[in-house]
Amino acid sequence: MRLFYAIWPDDHTREKLASISRNLNVGKVIPPENLHLTLLFLGDIQDELAMAILSGTDTIQCPKFRLKLSRFGSFKRSGVFWLAPDNIPGELITLVNNLSELAVMNNIAVEDRPYRPHMTLARKIKTQIHLESQDFAMQVSKFSLVESKTLPQGAKYSVLKTWPLT
């Protein structure tokens, strides 16, 4: 199964985020139920290894933090339009580093590119979009392991397990 760790917004936060993406009229807009911020992409993982990852994650203890998403931008090559934090909290980096270490201990190859936290709002944008920056603050007190399936109608994400931050 194709797995990734993410900050999975609660319904209230998701609704506020959806009010931003709903007004976008570009490319393929991400449906509200799919909005998330990836912490670490694990890729295709066998069931047995997924079990090891699930129990390994139980041992991770990281502090909660406040995340302010404020900057719109795009990855030009992939046509991804995103909302990202201007300042990356140290706690976010600590969490991602802990998850990466767990993945590496389980022989999962992780990206060696620097982590660029972003929430994808739309894909396949064709032209540049200019939006005023906007402050969107959220309290991050949990994170999730999510399964991604590619269906004909688009990506389908299922949260497998959620852990609290301390």
Binding site for ligand 2AM (CB under 6 A): 4, 38, 41, 80, 111, 120, 148
Q: How far is the CB of 159 from ligand 2AM (least distance, A)?
A: 12
Query: b vs e for 78-99, b when ≥16 Cβ sit within 10 Å of the residue's Cβ?
Result: ebbbbbbbeeebebbeebbebb
Query: Is the Cβ of residue 86 or residue 111 nearer to ligand 2AM in the bound state?
Result: 111
Token code pair at residue 112? 């060696």
Separation between Cα atoms, residue 86 and residue 117, nearest integer Å: 10
Is residue 67 within 8 Å of residue 85, measured between CB atoms?
yes
Query: Is the Cβ of residue 58 or residue 112 nearer to ligand 2AM in the bound state?
Result: 112
Q: How far is the CB of 128 from ligand 2AM (least distance, A)?
A: 18
Q: How far is the CB of 78 from ligand 2AM (least distance, A)?
A: 7
